[in-house]
Amino acid sequence: MTVLRLTLGTALLAAALAVLHPVHADPITVEGITFSDELGNFRLVSVTGRGSAEDPFVVREEITGPNDPVLVIKGFSRDFGNRVGTQHTAAFAMRKIVVNKTAKTWQGFQVELREIENRPSTYEDGLSFGQGSQVADDYVKSSMPNSQRLDEPEDSLGFGGADIPPGGEATFDFVISDMSPIYRFYLIQRPQQPLS
């Protein structure tokens, strides 16, 4: 009986810890670029593609919350090159597929680039969604009907005009570019929920 209680207690403790500290997927490296969910609030499911406009990186995620997920991207460099034809030193195309694994309906979705996790990207850092490029502007699209670009005081794209219910998914296509690529940067993701 004591062994059974100990085993049951151990199983309950493990389950509680899994809820408090969700297990993250291993980072995924494709074409020398590493994608990671190490900061939590979502699960990185898969990454495929080459990063070109014809064969973009397709990043599939399940967003669990409760906070905004942050995709960590590593290995972006001059050696990677520009795969989409903008004027930037390095650039790639991305299709992000997000699955709403929360209990709330989203009314929009925003993505923001940052070189430093807790500070908005400035004009001087060179990191952007293909800023100043018609190629990048033409590439931006989504399963949501509306999109908006903000270049200052931060680099962000906002999408809206349709709901994403629990269990639903949405796709977002955009270009990420840098004039002076750094090894690690962050893609902040903000599901937009209705105000109560």
Please name the residues in contact with 180: beta carbons below 8 A apart, sequence gap of 6 or more.
89, 125, 126
| Residues 63 and 187: beta-carbon distance below 8 Å | no
pLDDT in tens, 113-164: 999 998 877 767 889 999 999 999 999 999 999 999 887 778 899 999 999 9
d(CA 170, CA 53): 19
Q: Tell me, what DSSP letter sits at residue 181?
A: -
Q: Which residue has the higher pLDDT, 9 or 96?
A: 96
d(CA 175, CA 131): 9
Structure tokens at 193: 């929920």
Q: Provide the residue count of the chain.
A: 196
d(CA 65, CA 155): 23
How many other C-beta atoms can be found within 10 angstroms of the C-beta atom of residue 85? 17
Exposed/middle/buried for 61, CB within 10 Å: 0-12, 13-18, 19+?
A: buried
Helix, strand or coil, per DSSP, at residue 141: strand
Position 125 scores a pLDDT of 80
pLDDT in tens, 44-83: 999 999 999 999 999 999 999 999 999 999 999 999 999 9
Q: Tell me, what DSSP letter sits at residue 104?
A: S
d(CA 177, CA 14): 42
Position 41 scores a pLDDT of 96
Domain boundaries, the chain: 26-192
